[in-house]
Amino acid sequence: MRPGQTPRLTELAAERASGALLCDAGTVYLADGQVVHAESPKAPGLDVLLTTGGRLTPDSWREAVDHTAAAGRVGRFLVDSGRLTDAELEICHLGALFDAAWFALGPGSGPRGFQRGATHWLGPVRPVGAVAVEREIRRRGKLLDGVWPYPGVDTEPVVLRRPDGHLPPVTRRQRAVLGLADGVRTPAGIARTLGRPAFHTLLDVRRLAAAGYIETPRSGSRVPSPPRLGPAAVDFAEPDAPMLRRLRDALEAHL
């Protein structure tokens, strides 16, 4: 890497670097070249996933942060005090990590600097290889574009469309998204209100836009009208890798 050049995640992994990769839309933390945490203002943090879903009370979370954040042992405190099991912490942490990494390193964002030696107050949970993180970011981008290739729906307020003919059925998760589509909340705001990973909400919003439930913001190019499809014509399955499928199922069970 040339002096002054902004490092890439895989380059930092190759040199077993430790610190914080500062990105346009978030921060990715590494220890010995592995990703140990990620955060983004566009994605609900671990605190939101745990407290909004009811797994922890806000007071329990604040106590953990107040007592151990300075020592970087918040995660360990939650387990040692009996508030979470190791498995619960790992599952929720992986969900928050991949969610924030998508926004920090995905389209429209990217690295802008590296703060060597920086650590996160959560402390060690389970590291993830940089190659796996970048592979998952690419997979998520292809998944979104394959559902509805209009990224404007990801950032604009979610607006319901006037029903036009027969619309396919929606899942329970998608009904919750539609219930918060008030023309003011963005997908990120809906995710935070529901206490769900933001990427899953983006995916629901794109599927709902493709199915004709949600307006797609107009840009320079014409947006086609969603097709009128029968129930069997809409595929609501998400082709996760095995680890991420287990993660998704466990998150839905706990949250």
For residue 226, pLDDT over 80 is answered with no
* Tens-place pLDDT, residues 163-214: 777 899 999 999 999 999 999 999 999 999 999 999 999 999 999 999 999 9
129 HSE (CA, 13 A, CB side): 4
Structural domain includes residue 84: yes
Pairing outcome for strands 19-23 and 34-39: unpaired
- Residue 63 binned pLDDT confidence (cut-offs 50, 70, 90): very high
Whose CA is closest to 39, among 89, 99, 90?
99
Residues 41 and 128 in one domain: yes
Residues 21 and 127 in one domain: yes
Mark which of 139, 174, 203 sits at the end of a domain.
139
- H-state helical runs in the chain: 9-14, 46-52, 58-68, 74-80, 86-105, 130-147, 152-155, 172-179, 187-194, 198-211, 242-254
Residues 61 and 160 in one domain: no
- Residue 7 binned pLDDT confidence (cut-offs 50, 70, 90): confident
- Please tell me the predicted confidence (pLDDT) of residue 230: 38
* Tens-place pLDDT, residues 120-157: 999 999 999 999 999 999 999 999 999 999 999 999 99
- Please tell me the predicted confidence (pLDDT) of residue 224: 58
**Higher-confidence residue: 29 or 249?**
29
Residues 132 and 152 in one domain: no
How large is the average pLDDT for residues 53-82? Answer: 96
Structural domain includes residue 4: no
Residues 84 and 150 in one domain: no
| DSSP designation for 77 | H
Amino acid letter at 35? V
Q: How high is the mean pLDDT of the chain? A: 88
Residues 122 and 158 in one domain: no
Structural domain includes residue 123: yes
- H-state helical runs in 15-129: 46-52, 58-68, 74-80, 86-105
Residues 128 and 151 in one domain: no
Residues 130 and 149 in one domain: no
160 beta partners: 214
Residues 115 and 165 in one domain: no
The span from the CA of 42 to the CA of 55, in Å, is 22
Which structural domain, as residue segments, surrounds residue 185? 145-254
Structural domain includes residue 2: no
Mark which of 123, 139, 155 sits at the end of a domain.
139
- Please tell me the predicted confidence (pLDDT) of residue 210: 96
Mark which of 79, 110, 139 sits at the end of a domain.
139
72 φ, ψ to 5°?
A: 65, 40
Pull the structure tokens for residue 129: 């290889």
Residues 29 and 85 in one domain: yes
Structural domain includes residue 205: yes
Residues 221 and 125 in one domain: no
Q: What region, left, alpha or beta, does residue 133 occupy, with left being phi > 0 and alpha being psi -120 to 50 degrees?
A: alpha
Per the structure, the count of domains in the chain is 2
Pull the structure tokens for residue 33: 């070249």
Structural domain includes residue 3: no
Residues 103 and 223 in one domain: no
The span from the CA of 21 to the CA of 28, in Å, is 5
pTM, two decimal places: 0.85
